[in-house]
């Protein structure tokens, strides 16, 4: 697969939320920051290659083979992200762009050895699971912080949005993955929350809460 084909495969995979959902041409175009006509061309090619199922006007989905390729790319992307943070002093908001390049490097040995070198990590710096070599991963049960009732306590295990502004916000407010969070109070009017984290009580907007995943402990 070419770099471009690989990025399309990943886009279809992510838009389908990892399940094998059919996604629209326009959705792919938006994700790839390209034009719908370019997408049509590409998904025809992917279809010819046996990577995607394409019915004109009906959207596109990945074949089993396509799913495998997607999972391998996700695996590589997330392993490189771990490497950048763990070994090269990158912060979690700086890794995506570089991993977007590194995921296309072709070498099975490289990936396997990287995995080993990092101690077979289960999640990337944003809390997203890393598929095994065979493409398997367990999805941990997690809930968005704005959807749990007051009184819920849990561990912060991931972010939904991994854009730089959001991650920088979390850094600034000293919120990290692994922190224990207790929902103290919820404002009816705007859905904002008072949460206890690291012995401090802080106030966060609903929009922030809607992008933080919690593994509920109690």
Partner DNA sequence: ACAAATATTTAGTTTTATCTAAATATTATT
Partner DNA sequence: AATAATATTTAGATAAAACTAAATATTTGT
2 near its own copies, judged by CB under 8 A = no
Stretch (H or E) spanning 181: strand 180-186
107 near its own copies, judged by CB under 8 A = yes
Pick from 21, 26, 37, 101 the residue near its own copies by CB under 8 A. Answer: 101
85 near its own copies, judged by CB under 8 A = no
- Nearer to its own copies by Cβ, of 17 and 116: the residue is 116
Measured N-to-C along each axis, helices 108-117 and 64-88 cross at an angle, to the nearest 10 degrees, of 50
Q: Which stretch binds its own copies (CB under 8 A): 23-31, 70-78, 88-96, 185-193?
A: 88-96
5 near its own copies, judged by CB under 8 A = no
Measured N-to-C along each axis, helices 36-48 and 3-15 cross at an angle, to the nearest 10 degrees, of 100
Report the nearest approach of DNA to the CB of residue 56 (Å). 4
Report the nearest approach of DNA to the CB of residue 66 (Å). 15
Structure tokens at 215: 């593994």
Stretch (H or E) spanning 14: helix 3-15
Q: Are 144 and 160 in contact (CB under 8 A)?
A: yes
Report how far residue 144's alpha carbon sits from residue 98's, in angstroms, rounded to the nearest whole number. Answer: 28
- Give contact residues for Mn ion (rule: CB under 5 A): 7, 81, 100, 124, 126, 128
Report the nearest approach of DNA to the CB of residue 75 (Å). 21
> What are the Cα distances from residue 4, in Å, to 33, 133, 199?
12, 22, 47
Pick from 14, 21, 35, 140 the residue near DNA by CB under 7 A. Answer: 35
Q: Is 142 left (phi over 0), alpha (psi -120 to 50) or beta?
A: beta
- Termini Cα distance of the chain: 46
Q: Which stretch binds its own copies (CB under 8 A): 43-51, 89-97, 130-138, 181-189?
A: 89-97
Pick from 45, 68, 104, 160 the residue near DNA by CB under 7 A. Answer: 45
Strand partners, 135: none
Chain residues that interact with its own copies, rule: CB under 8 A: 84, 87-90, 94, 97-98, 101-102, 105-107, 109-110, 113-114, 117
**Which residues form the interface with DNA (CB under 7 A)?**
2-5, 8, 24-27, 34-45, 54, 56-59
């Amino acid at each position: 697969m070419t770099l471009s084909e690989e990025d399309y495969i990943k886009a279809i995979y992510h838009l389908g939320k990892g399940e094998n959902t059919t996604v629209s041409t326009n959705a792919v175009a938006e994700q790839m920051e390209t034009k719908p006509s370019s997408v049509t061309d590409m998904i025809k090619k992917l279809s010819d290659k046996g990577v995607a199922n394409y019915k004109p006007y009906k959207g596109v989905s990945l074949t089993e083979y396509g799913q495998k390729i997607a999972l391998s790319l996700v695996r590589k992307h997330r392993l490189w992200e771990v490497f950048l943070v763990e070994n090269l002093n990158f912060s979690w908001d700086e890794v995506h762009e570089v991993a977007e390049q590194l995921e296309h490097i072709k070498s099975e040995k490289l990936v396997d050895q990287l995995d080993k070198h990092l101690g077979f990590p289960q999640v990337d710096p944003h809390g997203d699971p890393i598929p095994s070599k065979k493409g398997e991963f367990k999805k941990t049960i997690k809930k968005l912080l704005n959807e749990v009732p007051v009184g819920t306590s849990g561990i912060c295990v991931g972010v939904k949005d991994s854009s730089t502004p959001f991650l920088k916000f979390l850094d600034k407010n000293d919120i990290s993955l692994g922190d224990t969070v207790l929902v103290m109070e919820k404002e009816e009017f705007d859905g904002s929350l008072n949460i206890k984290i690291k012995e401090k009580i802080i106030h966060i907007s609903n929009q922030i809460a809607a992008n933080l995943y919690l593994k509920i402990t109690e």
